[in-house]
Structure 1
């Protein structure tokens, strides 16, 4: 029997459990494919190229779920509400964001428990960004 020495128990992070960087890159890329074709959400992205926004969200999610801290190393503390404050995020934007994210999450094909854990966070995060009535 192989025993793990006392004090050396290692647990996988959610990031590792779901497949690491590739999984989060696929998730966010698929999400931004939806955003690109959504006139209401697309208007919230001032950059013509969605690539930089895609990279920022990818790095944020990677870090949040236990991967490398590249996001904070390059951008500092996430401060999500502050970073989204210049944009009018209403209930319609919230719903559209979740609609595109739902498609992206479902296409990952994660086991139900992991899919639910990821989805619960995304629902919470989307609700946290609403800053405008309507």
Structure 2
């Protein structure tokens, strides 16, 4: 099977895009692409039934092959899973931003406490000597 000039990821992407197309629009979608229909069908078979990484396609065994509706269902489930992962990633990034803001605020507060502590130490030191002996009574 020829995959010259196209990466494995691009092939997978084309196959996934095709299977996400609504019924009735797939032929038009294929005609707009820079490859032939026959090439695409080989790629489709490589992705779903073969081994794209090793460029191997199994022999046709009838019932073992996936149907177009099974492929579409797989792609829809995959797209839903991707959307969920994107939402989770977005939430985690927002959480990280919140933690970074909290961290920055705590760092500033600690810096201010250190500065105040240094000022108090500087004002409380004096050169006066205190008498440590006890008071004498008359």
Report the TM-score range of the alignment, normalised by the length of the smaller protein.
Answer: under 0.3
Scaled by the length of structure 2, the TM-score of the pair is: 0.24
Scaled by the length of structure 1, the TM-score of the pair is: 0.24
Q: Which has the higher contact order (CA 8 A, sep 6+)?
A: 1
Higher-Rg structure is: 2
